[in-house]
Amino acid sequence: MAKQSRVFASALALTLSISALAGCSSGGGNNNGNASQSPSGSASAPASSVASAAKDTITALLPPVSATYQDNFEQMAKDFNALYPNLTLKIEPASWEDMTQKLDTQVNAGSPPDIAFIPSASVSKYVQQGVLMDITDAATPEMVGDFETAPLEYMKNGTGLYGFPAYMEIHALGGNKQFLEEAGIDWKSVQKNGWTYDEFREAIKKGVVKDGNKTTRYGFVFANAGVASKDYLGILVKNAGMPSAFTKDLKYAYTSKNYLEVLKDVRQLIDDGSMPKELSSIDAGKRWNMFLTGQTMITGKGLATFENSANKNNEKLKANDGSAVEGSIPVDYIVLPVPSFLGQPAVSSPAVDGYVTFRGKKEPTPEHKANVVKAAYFLASGKVAAMTNNELFVAHITKSGKEAAASMTVNRNPDNAAAVEVLLSHAAPARPDIPPELGAKAIKLEDEVIVPKFQALLANEIKPEEMYEAVKSAAIKEFGQDGVVTD
Amino acid sequence: MAQLARTIKRRLLHGDAAWAYAFIAIALLVYAMFTAYPVVSAFMISFQEYKPLGSTYVGFENYVNSFGDSLFWKSIRNTIVYTLLTVPVSLLLSFAVAILILPFKKRLQTAFKAVYYLPAVASGVAMSVVWLWIYDPLPSGLMNRLLDVFGIGNQNWLGSSATAMFSLVLMAWLSSHGTSIIIYLAALLGIDNSYYEAADLDGASFFQKLWHVVVPFLRPTTLFLLVTGVIGSFQVFQNAYLMTGGGPDNATTMVGLLIFNNAFKYFEYGEAAAQSLVLALIIAVISYFQFRFLGKDVEY
């Protein structure tokens, strides 16, 4: 009996060990092997010219880009397989919260997915790590020609192209039509012609409603906490002659005197009482709640899809649906531009997200590279792009997407659609010329100096001049006296 | 000699010792894989500029950069302040609650232990969301409403340098004492009643019994909780990450958060590994002094 127990215990222990080891096994990989097993063409030949019918699997890590995006994964895989019978598109879904962590874990294990949906702003970070796959030679002229130039540029770094963009969305402001009109703001004119900081300041002052000493409605609330902590200042400075953190001659731009003036203006809007003094703690969810419940006339940042969210909430209110936001009122969402500062031209902030192509430890074969490009293009164009972008209320950036969307109906305010077109026309251009090392330094400076100091400025703990000096000295330390703008 | 070797070999392979080694080997394997290997790996990475597809050796550069980084020192200072404010008060609160629970019958004691342990079972993220709601900066926020009752104006709890650290400390004070309470209660139940009876005969008051009987008997328990509490507090990450993100003006950037940012935000694994090892060294030194000065009469 004792012997049996020992044998049983040993078997259990062995099982435990094996299961522990099994967890460490490398079952991933980006399927380079599949393609390399097939008879390959010349290694030096451009991948686009390699005609291979060998079976291959392309993996993609995709978040819920739009509300129903992940519901369509099965259909997407089927459609792709119908188009390329030798290829399998294997999609791994991820939540927005998990996306970065999942991707980074796979990247650090040396086996990232072939394609991941990420912001173009992250391209330089992964280029620096050497884990992105340059598809310049694999993307056919037809594929490249299908995209608008401006968003495609965002997927470049240096001379390399690292994927295809899904959309180019403008970070704007959003207004409550009723409140704007009550405040006497000609929002249609603002949509067409923009506004200066002074005009904006006066407008949001008119939007403030008080009950005694208590403010019941602010003129303007912008999310500044959590993930939104970088947005506000980043969007404003683009309209103050600093469309990028670096000038064209690669000097750090935020040491310009204009930067200081924007900081002063930020403080001024709070001191006016047009914005809440607790602004530094208001996150994206809170300010959207404030907008829907009538506690602010204008909110930021405003995305095109917010119109859709507001419309849906309006429908719920009309239908007495209990899932409508508590205390909310019907809102007609109006897209508004960000004001311009110091006589500088308005430059809108685009957010370009897309299908970025990765490589693992092994050099991908030309066949596999060409197959990955096919999958990335399939996801970023045509029917998939049309459905996704329509759902997000964002403009189509591919000819094939526009064609596919022609037969689809979107319940969108035409004034807003026209306003977005205006904003897209003066969107900040991509800067693939900024070396990844320089970009990484700027991001770290933003995270460790600008964002913390800006929070302190919003909380009225430091003066604009103090923040400016802190940013300037950190920038000089990082980029050198000659590496920063002096004016 | 050969006879001795044969005897040892026989005992090792055929006696109960063989089974013992087999079972120890499993634990050792798991320890080697999931504890020792990552530590050794971190040590090696701390001398590299780490990249997934090939790292380069950079000597002590990551250590030099860390020591020259003012934010690193600020994060250490923040972590020490947080530890000094949270650990002693948390121990005191746990001790007080354990003393209050002690006189109850076993069933009621168990109920209280379960209630106090509940936050440890709940998701830390969910708890943080609740606290974010409590610290809502607008006048409608729960804490601000409470202050309003006393005529105090509303506070920007997590958005102001004056209150952000205190907000995190308050959160630590008011949650997650369950483990300490259970350990203290177990230790209190281990004190023989004869000591209390002797103290009663001497006419000792409640506080005299507390000071002269309970506190000395609980010294090993307190030392254990103090050491583990300080270690846990030095590694604090979740609250700062979820509640303040380290702000405002880095007033709540703890060293754990800084390491996380360096590793997973900027991909500077070398610097993050170097900072992790410095943190481990600091914790080891503090633990040594805790044992040296507080553990003189304590035996484990």
What separation, in Å, do the N-terminal and C-terminal C-alpha atoms of chain A show?
89
- Distance in angstroms (rounded) separating the CA atoms of residues B107 and B130: 30
Task: Determine whether the interchain pair A20/B23 forms a contact, defined as Cβ–Cβ distance below 8 Å.
Answer: no
| Region of residue A88 (left: phi > 0; alpha: psi -120 to 50; beta: else) | beta
Would you say the C-alpha torsion A241, A243, A249, A252 has a positive or negative sign? positive
Quote the percentage of chain A above a pLDDT of 90.
76
DSSP characters for A215-284?
EEEEEEEE--SGGGTTHHHHHHHHTTT-SSSB-TT--BGGGSHHHHHHHHHHHHHHHTTSS-TTGGG--H
- Distance in angstroms (rounded) separating the CA atoms of residues B168 and B78: 11
- For A359, which residue in chain B has the nearest alpha carbon? B53
Q: Residue A16 above 90 pLDDT?
A: no
- Distance in angstroms (rounded) separating the CA atoms of residues A3 and A9: 10
Average pLDDT, rounded, for chain B: 90
Instruction: Mark which residues 6-25 of B lie under 8 Å from A by CB.
Output: 19, 22-23
Q: List CB contacts (< 8 A) between A281 and chain B.
A: 135, 137, 156-159
CATH for B69-294, options being 3.10.20.600, 3.10.110.10, 3.30.460.20, 1.10.3720.10: 1.10.3720.10
State whether residue B53 sits within 8 Å of chain A by CB. Answer: yes
All residue ranges of chain B with pLDDT < 50 are none
- How much is the pLDDT for A21? 38
pTM metric for this prediction: 0.82
Per DSSP, chain A holds a count of helices (H) and strands (E) of 21, 11
| Residue-wise pLDDT tens digits, B233-259 | 999 998 899 899 898 899 999 999 999
- For A226, which residue in chain B has the nearest alpha carbon? B245
- How much is the pLDDT for A17? 42
pLDDT confidence bin for A37, thresholds 50/70/90: very low
Tell me the count of A-B CB pairs closer than 8 A.
107
Token pair for B94: 């746990």
Q: List CB contacts (< 8 A) between A458 and chain B.
A: 159, 248
Task: Determine whether the interchain pair B248/A447 forms a contact, defined as Cβ–Cβ distance below 8 Å.
Answer: no
**Contacting residues for B272 by C-beta, under 8 A, at least 6 apart:** B259, B260, B262, B263
- For A111, which residue in chain B has the nearest alpha carbon? B52
C-beta of residue A281 within 8 angstroms of C-beta of residue A455: no
Going along chain A from its start, the domains and CATH numbers come out as 170-349 (3.40.190.10)
Q: Residue A38 above 50 pLDDT?
A: no
ipTM of the complex: 0.78
Q: Residue A30 above 90 pLDDT?
A: no
| Residue-wise pLDDT tens digits, A309-354 | 999 999 999 999 999 999 999 999 999 999 999 999 999 999 999 9
Report which secondary-structure segment, H or E, holds A156: strand A156-157
C-beta of residue B154 within 8 angstroms of C-beta of residue B137: yes
Q: Which of A211, A217, A278 to mutate to probe the B interface, most B CBs <10 Å?
A: A278
| Residue-wise pLDDT tens digits, A202-246 | 999 999 999 988 899 999 999 998 778 889 999 999 999 999 999
Token pair for A22: 């099994």
Q: Domain coordinates of chain B in residue numbers?
A: 2-45, 69-294
- Distance in angstroms (rounded) separating the CA atoms of residues A89 and A74: 10
Q: Which of B33, B56, B249 to mutate to probe the A interface, most A CBs <10 Å?
A: B249
Average pLDDT, rounded, for chain A: 89
